[in-house]
Structure 1
């Protein structure tokens, strides 16, 4: 296990495996959700299930071995919806051509990743902005969980409101949330796994969610979508803006995730951490390129890795564990599908609370940081995008410094982020 430098990172095998399993449970939802979203483009659901799993296994293990960081990866949310509802259904682009767009953006991503540019962006962002990003991601994942459990629901008058607390699913989510808070406050080892296990057994016992009728199933073939991408059609000049959207969104989503999770775990603070960051970026880029070949949209670093980090995960053994565990749904999908989502999502709320606590360390006497923090933390959940929140914050940060005549305090990275925000918001 010296490959993972467990002693140097003050961790052990048991902690890393527990962290990897926790991240896996937190990420499990991506399998059916991604397949459902991409199937709206006309791609077969069963093949998408297998492709999503295969890419999750490959890129998580790749990152664990190559970068030795506890960052698990899978097919990213956001771009999958844009793929189906924007490109295919909205613009009438065949899904094969759309996969070609994904592949080309991945190739560009790889070219960027082999230069110091991406790592430099992360390292030169002011520390208060990094803390704000961590808190913003916490607010974002908590909002996702509250929405998915229907603890909060859409409302035509107020946008969102409280859900029906008499609904059995909502009650299960609230029960799971109480368990997750209790086990976390009491500092139980494996608190998140324990809360999911107890909530699931409770749901099965009282009939809120059915127990699995079978345990084993054969995986579906990826043949209908794998290697079906149409690269030549995607090389059209008219698709260049779409390629840029995929590239920039994937780039800044991962930028936000690595900044937030890295800040929480202190992963990238020294010279060795900088090398690990660069390698994490490279693994992410390779996964993005190969995702188009496999028949899915861009892979990305997952914010749910924060679940494993909170359980003590500090090395690639955690990510490798997560990757291997993703093999299980290939053969035990009925069992994993029987875990009610409302037993899983409450742990994201607790993780969100933990990440939100980074706000206490921000220097609010700095006006630029103060205003930027507001837009980052609210921007991520309110626009349903890590990228939008990050870029809004960068724009405000630069604006306030310009107003105060402190242009020399604006780091080149923040200028680049602000300019990217202008490009994306006003032109793309």
Structure 2
């Protein structure tokens, strides 16, 4: 069996092995397992029942991640996006007053559009049109964003007051202390070059939390999944195909395009998938996995689905092939029946991993040309706005708007590829029509 896996995924060519890939898959799953509970919790605000929504979340993750592993052969997890789910629940349904069925119709339409763009090769050309400095900014921005997520989830950073929107958390509480312990543990293990340091840190921190009674251990281990019938195939495509819904579809389309582009470029650069020309190899395959997962997710009853930035945790552990994704999908499948265990993993255990991985990704900032303001300003706008708006799409779109404009006004418009102007138009429309 090991030989079959090594040959299919060409593990030796990527400098990895079955054990490393399995370890990387477990690490990535541990950092994304929160979505099993968090996604349906958010979508409950839109009227989507929790139990069926949880099943739809897991099934869409299994579907997309399997395609990512078997077809694209990339070590990336796919699951419903954070941000897009909140946009549907709190804006499309909560503020604009549309039904969740119509919102899922818009998700389906954007997924179909992505599939067409991917099959036609246009989506891959969009990535190739991104200048190198912006690509590096994606890596740094994702790193800062991942670290910020970890800090917020752990309670190290909390909401402040007017005039000081962020504030240091309660560092004297036991959960935060456990997070800091986990961060130091993982850091020391990595410095000592201990294999599986991230996974070891997550497990030890979680076990200490359970043993000390800080976090509630799962009351049961196995549970049959709820029925998905109430939300399966309930999307309203016709209702989404109206002029009034144009802004919603445009927003969903652009957010997914930017999130996926930024994630795939960022984690792929981290994994060493860039060729000699500075382009990312075989990007159409993970793009297709992402697009098909969004279509499937809408049919199953959940929101926009795509590649997760937390996949960088598994890549840091050495995951380089689709075998990592197969392991992730296997654990998502277990989640259908063992979700009481996975949902009990505390943020204090997973947040240290996100903080460490994010810090490591930010090292790429030294590759950005800081002397050319037409390159530096768009890149830094991407990095800063990704985190400060808590929205990958906003940060990436800012870069795609600023880059061609600054090149144009500095007399360097010849450095802007035609497709980059197309991204400029798309992102400008995004900012104009976004339902603030």
Q: What TM-score, normalized by structure 1, do the two folds share?
A: 0.96
Residue matched to 1:118: 123
Once residues 274 and 384 of structure 1 are traced to their aligned partners in structure 2, the CA distance between those partners, rounded to angstroms, is 26
1:19 aligns with 2:18: no
Once residues 363 and 100 of structure 1 are traced to their aligned partners in structure 2, the CA distance between those partners, rounded to angstroms, is 42
Q: How does 1:247-396 map to 2 (within 5 A)?
A: 247-269=253-275, 276-396=282-402
| Residues 39 and 45, structure 1, Cα contact 8 Å, conserved in 2 | yes
The offset of 1:198, in angstroms, is 0.7
Deviates further, 129-138 or 228-237: 228-237
The offset of 1:194, in angstroms, is 0.3
Once residues 135 and 228 of structure 1 are traced to their aligned partners in structure 2, the CA distance between those partners, rounded to angstroms, is 39
| Residues 225 and 336, structure 2, Cα contact 8 Å, conserved in 1 | yes
Residue matched to 2:172: 166
1:132 aligns with 2:137: yes
Residue matched to 1:191: 197
- After superposition, the CA RMSD in angstroms is 1.6
Which whole-Å deviations, capped at 9, do the CAs of 1:355-408 have from their partners, x for residues lacking one? 100011222222222112221111100011111111212222223322321111
1:228 to 217, 231, 234: 234
Deviates further, 186-195 or 166-175: 166-175
Once residues 81 and 339 of structure 1 are traced to their aligned partners in structure 2, the CA distance between those partners, rounded to angstroms, is 22
Question: 3-state DSSP class of the match of 1:91?
Answer: coil
Question: 3-state DSSP class of the match of 1:155?
Answer: strand
Question: 3-state DSSP class of the match of 2:47?
Answer: coil
Deviates further, 228-237 or 84-93: 228-237
Question: 3-state DSSP class of the match of 2:13?
Answer: coil
Q: 1:307 to 1:379 in 2, by over 3 A?
A: same
The offset of 1:177, in angstroms, is 1.4
Once residues 313 and 225 of structure 1 are traced to their aligned partners in structure 2, the CA distance between those partners, rounded to angstroms, is 35
The offset of 1:225, in angstroms, is 0.8
The offset of 1:328, in angstroms, is 1.6
The offset of 1:223, in angstroms, is 0.9
In the comparison of the two structures, how many residue pairs are matched?
A: 427
| Residues 67 and 289, structure 2, Cα contact 8 Å, conserved in 1 | yes
1:71 aligns with 2:69: no
The offset of 1:274, in angstroms, is 5.2
The offset of 1:55, in angstroms, is 0.8
Once residues 25 and 354 of structure 2 are traced to their aligned partners in structure 1, the CA distance between those partners, rounded to angstroms, is 15
Q: 1:153 to 1:22 in 2, by over 3 A?
A: same
1:60 aligns with 2:60: no
The offset of 1:212, in angstroms, is 2.3
**Structure 2 alignment gaps of length 5 or more:** none
| Residues 73 and 284, structure 1, Cα contact 8 Å, conserved in 2 | yes
Once residues 112 and 50 of structure 1 are traced to their aligned partners in structure 2, the CA distance between those partners, rounded to angstroms, is 29
Residue matched to 2:11: 6
| Residues 268 and 276, structure 1, Cα contact 8 Å, conserved in 2 | no
Residue matched to 2:89: 84
Deviates further, 284-293 or 330-339: 330-339
Residue matched to 1:33: 38
1:424 to 410, 421, 430: 430
Q: What TM-score, normalized by structure 2, do the two folds share?
A: 0.94
Q: 1:270 to 1:64 in 2, by over 3 A?
A: farther
The offset of 1:345, in angstroms, is 1.2
The runs of 4+ residues in structure 1 deviating greater than 4 Å are: none
Deviates further, 66-75 or 386-395: 386-395
Question: 3-state DSSP class of the match of 2:335?
Answer: helix
Question: 3-state DSSP class of the match of 2:158?
Answer: strand
